[in-house]
Amino acid sequence: SKAKLFDEKNSIKVSFKDVAGLEGAKDEIVEIVEFLKNPEKYTSIGGKIPKGALLVGPPGTGKTLLAKAVAGEANVPFFSLSGSDFVEMFVGVGASRVRDLFKQAKEKAPAIIFIDEIDAVGRARGKSNFSGSNDERENTLNQLLTEMDGFGSHTNVIVLAATNRAEILDKALLRAGRFDRQIYVDLPDVKEREAIFNVHLRNIKKVDNLDIDFLAKQTPGFSGADIANVCNEAALTAARKNKTQVDMQDFLDAVDRIIGGLEKKNKIISPEE
Ligand code: ATP
């Protein structure tokens, strides 16, 4: 379904309706939509529009989705890259990739630039780096800082970046005039999980009496991405059994499988095991 989110002009079809829960984050980020749509309102009175905001929260909680929704709501192009793309790059490539991206975005302004996993390039300098390509990572980070500092007051490009771990980021990134706003995106509570189920059930043919509240209660600790996964798995299971509607058993089987997957993942990453 990813292809549907973008047309050839990078315009985004995601809206706030697609983002369930996250009311606090949405309240904050809606201001960025305003800045993109109506910059003169803020600049003519002498205000400086923020250049960047950091979306902070666990994996799969909707940070990318929220960034796309900002672009969709403001009806501006969405340019993105992932910090992890830079880890294995040859010298000079990371910095020039960043330069290109900002150049394109400025040409198409107003625009959103989204940098996923910014910690991969934005880790505090001088700390250990498993990839061994520390210099190139620093070049890339420096280029990013240079680009953001170079925004004039009329650039009208806003950089959103996502991370699971704001505390490991280089303080230079968080300085005033860079990513000086942080927006928290948490795991959903039971009501929010119900809302996320409702979003992902929109296009699924399900039995009429499906108890969504019960499903939300069965899925503590699940992220939005996990819930999207449950809905899709349930639909595939039902189809495999030649059913025409997805029923509760299909959903509960999918929940079990995903809990199994989460337990395995936790075992692998937990250092105590
Ligand atoms: P990561 O940190 O792993 O990059 P993320 O926070 O950027 O994760 P997304 O990529 O936005 O998470 O979420 C993955 C998918 O999970 C979304 O495309 C969407 O289908 C679903 N999802 C996550 N959160 C929500 C939400 N709040 N409402 C609806 N769907 C959600």
Atom of ligand 1 nearest to the CA of 67: 11
Q: What is the mean pLDDT of the chain?
A: 87
**pLDDT digits 0-9 by tens, 191-250:** 999 999 999 999 999 999 999 999 999 999 999 999 999 999 999 999 999 999 999 999
pTM more than 0.90: no
Report whether 201 contacts 174 (CB < 8 A).
no
Task: Give me 23's structure tokens.
Answer: 């009311």
The C-alpha atoms of residue 197 and residue 231 are separated, in whole angstroms, by 7
Ligand 1, atom 3: closest residue by C-alpha? 59
8-state DSSP, 109: -
Q: Cα angle at 218 between 272 and 252, to 5 degrees?
A: 105
User: Among residues 175, 72, 177, 170, which one has the least CA distance to residue 114?
Assistant: 72
**pLDDT digits 0-9 by tens, 159-200:** 999 999 988 898 989 988 899 899 999 999 999 999 999 999
Residue 62 is labelled as binding a ligand = yes
The C-alpha atoms of residue 85 and residue 262 are separated, in whole angstroms, by 25
Q: Does position 148 have pLDDT exceeding 60, yes or no?
A: yes
Ligand 1, atom 8: closest residue by C-alpha? 60
The C-alpha atoms of residue 153 and residue 112 are separated, in whole angstroms, by 15
Query: Contacts for 254-258 with beta carbons within 8 Å, 24 or more apart?
Result: 254/229, 254/230, 255/215, 255/218, 255/219, 255/230, 257/233, 258/222, 258/226, 258/229, 258/230, 258/233
Residue 220 is labelled as binding a ligand = no
Q: Does position 6 have pLDDT exceeding 60, yes or no?
A: no
